[in-house]
Structure 1
Amino acid sequence: MSRVNGWSLPLNTLQAVAWITFLVMTFTSFGIFIPLLPGVWRHVAYGVSFTLWVTGVLFLFHMVVHLMAVSTDPAEPNVRIKNYKRPMPTFDRTKHEHVIQNQYCHLCEVTVSLKAKHCSACNKCITNFDHHCNWLNNCVGSRNYWCFFCCVASAVVGLFCLAVVIMYIFIQYIMGQDELRTDPHFKTITDENTWLFFLPLFPVRIKAPVLLITGAAVLVLDIVGLLMLGQLLLFHLYLCAYCCAPP
């Protein structure tokens, strides 16, 4: 059976990992680390400032383009009008050397464009096929390429911003903790070893080691994501520059 998009069964394990990672980053960013920033930086990070909104809009933008990349059907126009519930024929190599010959797909049984490719994972022809992304559980083609590109780019920028925030908290924790205790809820706390999570709505008291261990764990996860997505972004920037370069 052909798959329609990234929500079609079977779902991919890496797809679940991507969403869990995104939720962890969002939860810890806005529930733990950003509330510890000094007042003016906290407003900027939350996206309240008109001129310097960063993190809040960035996370929302990433979620939107991620959903668009997953939900888009990147198949050829002639494939999209067909009935996806119809089983695909079995490819017979004794009759045809290739799945697509003379711009005709013997599996989809339709005429396709010049740069189309039949994806074995999705079992359909993709317009301007780039690759099958297990993290999206969907193919990347011309119909969702820019959503995919924006998804990767926004993730890299968002992870970089979060890494800066966490490293600032670590440095400020060593240099002077008063800058991290500007929230009014800290006025009722006299123990310097006690910190608050989930400010300002649901403050939960925790000890300093919990804060430091959580920050270190998220920072490691952040750096791993930056290394993985960073090289992917650089590769696609190179492809865009190469494709747009004059002959």
Structure 2
Amino acid sequence: MTARSNGSSDASPDLAVVARELRAAKDGPPSSRDLTKEWYEKWVRKNGFSKPLSRLQLLSWMTFAVDVALGAVISLPILLSDGQWYGWVISLLWTGSAVLTLVSTHRATACDPTDDSSAPSLGATRFCHFCRRNVSTDAKHCRQCNKCIGDFDHHCEWLNNCIGRDNYFPFACATASAFVFTASLVAFSSVEIGRFVSEGSEVTVERWRQVYTGVDDRAVLGISVTILLINLPLTLCVLQLLSFHAFLACKGLTTYEYIMYKLNGEQAERSNPPQGRRVWSRFKALPSVMDWFVFAGSSKRKGRPQEASGSKRPSGSLKGSGGVALVDGGSRCSSRSSGTRRVEPIEVVIGTPKRSVS
């Protein structure tokens, strides 16, 4: 008995040292092979600016900076030099949307959407086995942020933050303003290319030389095509996301609820129960091309820490069905219930269309 107690006392300092080394080496969650249960339980992402930053987040910052430079240095001077009404309209739309995109994106990223179970109006009736506290009934536990999100919608990798009750409105504003921002640059480049073709290269070059002396037809056409190639795909992608959330708003659903309903509807349709056909019929109207998600199975999460009891994570279920609600591969955030139809655990991430569900 003495030897065992000595062995356990010797092991505890080693584990504490390892945890301290991991925290000192990284500000974000470690890789699965280095992940310790104690470390993961202590780390919580505060907001989208918490490390590690997402690659898509950094990409969005760089793209926005490039577009701002192109618009301020090239688009606005050329449009305003003409004195045409459409030039003023495009310039005003671009300037306003750029400011709104910056402000709303910062608010959505800097917001901490953690569920506030201390508020009595929210009615904390569910227990999260990861947070180890009661949370509101609409909360879900995001394993990328390691916290429960009130009225969870999805985890956005473009913002590196979860979208929930507290930051859904700035997220929607950021999406709408980003569409106007990129569409304005598409409109500018389309107008310049159209005038280059219809009026001839000499007339277009002369207009540009009123602002930038020394440009030639190749520079004018090359810059216009570059702006179009950068922003046309972005405009279509943001329009897709904006249309999808408009669809969800009309249906009164969150992104998480939509995915869970869709997966359960597909499974139920295969077995042909009447209830499954009714549920699935609500979502067939939305084309599959509008799905802008990553569906990741729980096999990718084998390196993540298990719950305190050491039990295997259950499969997912519909939100509001009384069963276990799962987010990002299997976070438990409610009481148990039998007879609930299960689906594979999923990860709800917006903006990374690497895989799709047929």
Work out whether the TM-score is over 0.5: yes
Kept after mapping to 1: 8 A contact 2:141/2:147 = yes
Shift of 1:33: 2.1
Q: Larger Rg: 1 or 2? A: 2
Q: Which residue of 1 aligns with 2:231?
A: 222
Q: Which residue of 2 aligns with 1:50?
A: none
**Which of 28, 45, 59 is residue 98 of structure 2 equivalent to?**
59
Q: Which residue of 2 aligns with 1:70?
A: 109
Once the two structures are superposed, residues 33-53 of structure 1 have per-residue CA deviations (whole angstroms, 9 ceiling, x without a partner) of 232221244444443xxxxxx
- The 2-side partners of 1:61 and 1:156 are apart by 11
* 2:163 matches 1:140: yes
Q: Which residue of 1 aligns with 2:134?
A: 111
TM-score under structure 1 length normalisation:
0.74
SS at match of 1:112: strand
**Which of 164, 174, 190 is residue 151 of structure 1 equivalent to?**
174
Structure 1 residues 14-23 or 174-183, which shifts more? 174-183
- The 2-side partners of 1:62 and 1:72 are apart by 15
Once the two structures are superposed, residues 58-96 of structure 1 have per-residue CA deviations (whole angstroms, 9 ceiling, x without a partner) of 11011100100100001111499xxxxxxxxxxxxxxxx
Gaps of 5+ in 2: 1-42, 120-124, 254-358
Residues 168, 148 of structure 1: alpha-carbon distance in 2 compared, 3 angstrom cutoff: same
Shift of 1:27: 1.0
| Percent of matched pairs sharing the same residue | 32
- The 2-side partners of 1:211 and 1:67 are apart by 34
Structure of greater relative contact order (alpha carbons < 8 Å, 6+ residues apart)? 1
Q: Which residue of 1 aligns with 2:67?
A: 25
Once the two structures are superposed, residues 146-170 of structure 1 have per-residue CA deviations (whole angstroms, 9 ceiling, x without a partner) of 1111111111122112111111011
Gaps of 5+ in 1: 48-53, 81-101, 187-194, 197-203
SS at match of 1:146: helix
* Superposed counterparts of 1:28-39, under 5 Å: 28-37=70-79, 38-39=82-83
Structure 1 residues 130-139 or 173-182, which shifts more? 173-182
Shift of 1:10: 0.5
Kept after mapping to 2: 8 A contact 1:115/1:128 = yes
- The 2-side partners of 1:123 and 1:180 are apart by 56
* 2:195 matches 1:169: no
Kept after mapping to 2: 8 A contact 1:39/1:182 = no
* 2:216 matches 1:207: yes
Residues 79, 163 of structure 1: alpha-carbon distance in 2 compared, 3 angstrom cutoff: farther
- The 2-side partners of 1:181 and 1:141 are apart by 51
Residues 224, 79 of structure 1: alpha-carbon distance in 2 compared, 3 angstrom cutoff: farther
Structure 1 residues 10-19 or 171-180, which shifts more? 171-180
Matched residue type, 2:242: L
Q: Which residue of 2 aligns with 1:91?
A: none
Cα RMSD (Å) of the superposition? 2.4
Kept after mapping to 2: 8 A contact 1:36/1:180 = no
- The 1-side partners of 2:76 and 2:192 are apart by 9
- The 2-side partners of 1:206 and 1:40 are apart by 22
- The 1-side partners of 2:66 and 2:118 are apart by 37
- The 2-side partners of 1:234 and 1:63 are apart by 21
Q: Which residue of 1 aligns with 2:52?
A: 10
**Which of 114, 127, 147 is residue 124 of structure 1 equivalent to?**
147
Q: Which residue of 2 aligns with 1:96?
A: none
Kept after mapping to 1: 8 A contact 2:90/2:184 = no
Once the two structures are superposed, residues 196-226 of structure 1 have per-residue CA deviations (whole angstroms, 9 ceiling, x without a partner) of 2xxxxxxx74433233222212211211112
- The 1-side partners of 2:128 and 2:176 are apart by 34
